[in-house]
A = this chain, B = another copy of it.
Amino acid sequence: MFEFKIKNSEEKARVGELTLNKNVINTPCFMPVGTAAAIKAMSTSEVSNLGYNIILANTFHLMLRPGVEVIKKHGNLHNFMQWDGSTITNSCGYQVFSLAKLRRITKEGVHFLSPIDGQKVFLDPKKSIWLQEQFNADIIMQFDECTPYPADKKTAEESLQLSLIWGKESKSSLEKEDSNLFGIVQGGIYDELRDMSLDGLLNIGFDGYAIGGLSVGETSEERNMILDNITHKMPFDKPRYLMGVGKPEDIIEAVKRGIDMFDCVIPTRNARTGYLYTKKGLLKIRNSKYKDDLNPIEDDCECYTCRNYTRSYLKHLDNCKEILGLRLNTIHNLYYYYKLMEDIRSSIANNNFYNFIKKFYKNREV
């Protein structure tokens, strides 16, 4: 079952419900990243206790380690990692672009060497979709080429055309009736190419539409410009997913422009290097001024970490490289992101999103 309902909109921003099988996901939503079938430093029950019911997993990584056969032997990815919520898997497009060695892209697919053991790997739309269906992902992404940044117009156009061909092949490769496939808009920083890409995808027809090729080095102005042009042309009644974004302010700006779904490694990665989210911005727990600070990371934060531990203790754990520090920091950052999305949703539901945004930026200035 796949159903998307918009419950309220405020200008371009929308609050909605995405029903995936028996799981209802409130949108706009943030999806923590479980690259290798684990959200770094977290257990799945901790992730779920924070409120999350959808995570992203990386087909590229799981294909290489542990391999599809191992996951298949567990039945599916949910069983393998003991995750009761929904799962979206990416198609490898971005990882082939960022991680694969000696890649060679042809119309048929991509040849590359595994960054893990140097083995030759070939991926095409058929294989990417097959893998994702084997994992039993609730949302499957089309196989695409992530256009690099910067890319001249000709390169960006060739790239988006290839992604369109692969999008069509991805759709025709689906073998399960209940698979939910998202198309990916490419086109670099060129509005007319983004339009061309979207038109092509609409002709094919998908269950949802993602914007790819962002969060790859462009400025936030460029990203917002692209969103300003494209989002409202995407089907109103289908979920819109901005891949790989991002910081709290990036998410807010994208929601304002009509995006419903996000994923990003930044809250978990920042946690592990001691950067903690607060209303005022990032707090660097490594700073010596926290050595004997008895306050929680944030005074009114209700997360497990803030309810129990002082900045002083967290700084000590970071200093001693204790695993518990990585855990407590990650819990805080993922709580912050969950609460952020919850506040975004309730403000849109109450037609109060623009006040929320004003307050968000005002807090940053204190």
Contact = CB atoms under 8 A, between A and B. Distances in A.
A310 B315 CA distance: 34
A66 B316 contact: yes
A225 interface: no
Interface in A54-72: 61, 65-66, 69-70
B66 A312 contact: yes
Interface string A314-350: 0111011011111110000000000000000000000
A323 B66 contact: no
Could you say how many copies of this chain the assembly holds? 2
B70 A40 contact: no
Interface stretch (A73-81, A155-163, A193-201, A210-218): A73-81
A337 B37 CA distance: 29
Interface string A280-309: 000000000001101000000000000011
A271 to B, nearest CB: 11
Interface string A73-109: 1100000111000000000000000000000000000
Contacts of A328: 43
B70 A37 contact: no
Contacts of A40: 322-324
A74 B39 CA distance: 32
B292 A69 contact: yes
B81 A313 contact: yes
A24 interface: no
Contacts of A310: 74, 80
A74 B36 contact: no
Interface of A: 36-43, 61, 65-66, 69-70, 73-74, 80-82, 291-292, 294, 308-310, 312-313, 315-317, 319-320, 322-328
